[in-house]
A and B are shown apart, each in its own frame.
Chain A
Amino acid sequence: MEPITVFSSRTVLLPRADIDTDQIIPARFLTTTSREGLGNALFADWRYDSDGESNAEFVLNQPESAGAEVLVAGRNFGCGSSREHAPWALADYGFRAVISTEIADIFRSNSLKNGLLPIVVSAAFHEQLLSVPCGVEVNLETRTVRVTDGPHAEASEAFEIDDFSRYCLMRGTDQLGFLLDRVPAISAFETQRSDPTPQ
């Protein structure tokens, strides 16, 4: 996982609200046993037509979207299933941040574990971001997003992220190590309570 501190990128805009995980990556791509290479399946039903040809109208297929690392999406992005394949696909494609006014709980939690920064912004700032693709600087150190060019240049906003997730993202470390360090406390917890086990 690549650490995130400060990075700049163009934005890609997907203004639709309620983009669900079945759109981010359709179920037929979930039969994999690996987490690699899922970028090809990202938004598959929008990116490709029924013959598998690239759909020139879809924003990711337009030349100005190439290399963009920040996706600005409509309200309630990532609703639906718990499939971590959704952030895997976004991260594998090259996205490092998703910005919306609201991001679904499980998707948000999964993103934070995969070097994909979920950023919730105000409706007013969101509207500016959705008006036209632009350059943005994402700064996890100061927890801010700043527009660097275009009609809203220098507009910026602070976003919230809990300290622990921020710490992990900035170091590119995962959270399993933290839990493994708590094993003595877990063992103590298990011995002091007695309840029936499932099987």
Chain B
Amino acid sequence: MSQTLFEKVWASHVVVPETADTPTVLYIDLHLIHEVTSPQAFTVLRERGLTVRRVDRTLATMDHSTPTTPVRKLADIDVVGPSAAAQIRQMQKNCAEFGIPLRGFDSDERGIVHIIGPELGATQPGKTIVCGDSHTSTHGAFGALAFGIGTTEVGHVLATQCLLQRRPKTMAVEVSGALPEGVTAKDLILAIIGQTGVDGGTGHVIEYRGDAVRALDMAGRMTVCNMSIEAGARAGMMAPDDTTFEYLAGRKLAPQGTEFEAAVSRWRGLVTDAGATFDKTVHIDASTLSPMVTFGTNPGMVVGIDAPLPAAPGDGSWDRALEYMQLEAGKPIAGTPVDVVFVGSCTNARLPDLEATARVLEGRRVAEGVRMLVVPGSQAVKAEAEARGLHRIFEAAGAEWRESGCSMCLGMNGDTVAAGKLAVSTSNRNFEGRQGVGARTVLASPATAAASAVAGRIADARQLAH
């Protein structure tokens, strides 16, 4: 029978099938944990006298509440405040006590959980991957079934390596055509969310398909899958292909040598069969897109950077968002003054994102009065960027270059945007207060963010003089 990619991965992980009365017991290949959503799960293990079933399938790091200023000794983490510092220390204690290797402050492999999984080669096609974080959807770029879970479920996976799940529905996002010059993966996913709305994918697993998707590099594919949750979908997937296999070859935790060859031939079968059907399909033509930015307080409120804001729907539903953003319907968003620019997060903090940022900043300066932060997604990305001298370009332009972490993506680690200030951010959420109480967030690609930093206003990178 013809199956979708999702159906193949799901079927190969069913331990106990679902019945009318009970959900599926689904096996989890890789469990990523971090300091914010795991402490209460470890408490449950302690209360019940349970151990971690598969420490070898558990990958632990610290990213959310960690400082992005250098940590040279443990006391340096206190800059994030007493409760975040206590949370970081608790993570170290939990991992030590339960025997889980932790990629902590002393590790060159530390970073944002969704950046290091792929970077280490732990993320692989056909795997089931979960994490107490909704952007776990990122790993679907490799043809894995990857989704975010709550802390109770983190406890379930720690104790049993399984989850209780009802099978979600499937949704195809067919992207035809080619992205025009200067339009990136971030612009594509923002356009998709603009089309589906923030709840268009609720209850579904998305498969991104079509020429424009095939043409993306792994970084771009991860950017797209990362924001599946912003369309309401718990997971987004892409069939693995040569681009995927080339990325994985030689990575530390990927299969090596002949085992890798054998894995690749298995992985080649992870495609949606001809004739398989989806519960829902949406189409988008990549060739019509411009660089996209958000203008409201959810990621579905999206507009082309070269277009005026759409007219508000008559029901007043935009009033509050536009008032919060201090923007006006019908007026262009380009030219709006900018206070802060953030390049980082699990959406856009891989090496190609930093290279795109550097291409815009090279030989230019961040505008007077604008604060720009460039935060690499992992310590490995940081090292690679420095080896290529990118940090010098950022610093010469007047941007701050930091240690890896979630940073300004969410206001809980000391990096925040002040009330009323407007931030152009390469992260994934523009909710009220996400980057700090009262902060106004405009989501954009690294190129748009960098161009806006230089102009001091929201700007189209394609129009910067060469």
Q: Do A and B bind each other?
A: yes
Binding site for B on A (CB under 8 A): 16-18, 20, 22-23, 26-28, 30-35, 45, 50, 75-76, 79-84, 87, 102, 104-106, 109-110, 113-114, 162-164, 167, 174-176, 178-180, 182-183, 185-186, 189-190, 195-199
Identity of the chain B residue whose Cβ is nearest the Cβ of A110 in the assembled complex: B150
Chain B residues touching A, majority SS = loop
Cβ of B101 within 8 Å of any chain A Cβ, yes or no, is yes
Identity of the chain B residue whose Cβ is nearest the Cβ of A22 in the assembled complex: B431
Complex alpha-carbon distance, A106 and B132, angstroms:
10
Q: Which residues of A contact B320 (CB under 8 A)?
A: 16
Contact indicator A195/B419 (Cβ below 8 Å): no
Contact indicator A33/B90 (Cβ below 8 Å): yes
Cβ of B282 within 8 Å of any chain A Cβ, yes or no, is no
Cβ of B298 within 8 Å of any chain A Cβ, yes or no, is yes
Interchain residue pairs with CB less than 8 A apart (21): A18-B198, A22-B432, A23-B431, A32-B39, A32-B87, A33-B87, A34-B40, A45-B433, A81-B133, A83-B36, A87-B150, A104-B202, A105-B168, A105-B202, A105-B203, A106-B150, A163-B22, A179-B25, A182-B160, A185-B16, A189-B27
Contact indicator B152/A110 (Cβ below 8 Å): yes
Complex alpha-carbon distance, A36 and B437, angstroms:
23
B229-261 residues with Cβ-Cβ distance < 8 A to A are 229, 232, 234, 253-255, 259
B416-466 residues with Cβ-Cβ distance < 8 A to A are 419, 429, 431-434, 437-438
Contact indicator A186/B161 (Cβ below 8 Å): yes
Given known A-B contacts A27-B412, A105-B234, A33 and B159 have beta carbons under 8 A apart: no
Binding site for A on B (CB under 8 A): 15-16, 20-23, 25, 27, 29-30, 36-37, 39-40, 43-44, 48, 50, 53-54, 56-59, 64-65, 80-81, 83-84, 86-87, 90, 101, 120, 122, 124, 132-134, 136, 148-153, 155-156, 159-162, 164, 166, 168, 198-199, 202-203, 229, 232, 234, 253-255, 259, 263, 298, 317, 320, 410-412, 419, 429, 431-434, 437-438
Complex alpha-carbon distance, A164 and B25, angstroms:
13
Given known A-B contacts A27-B410, A182-B15, A20 and B431 have beta carbons under 8 A apart: yes
- Min CB distance B120 to A, Å, is 8
Identity of the chain A residue whose Cβ is nearest the Cβ of B82 in the assembled complex: A31
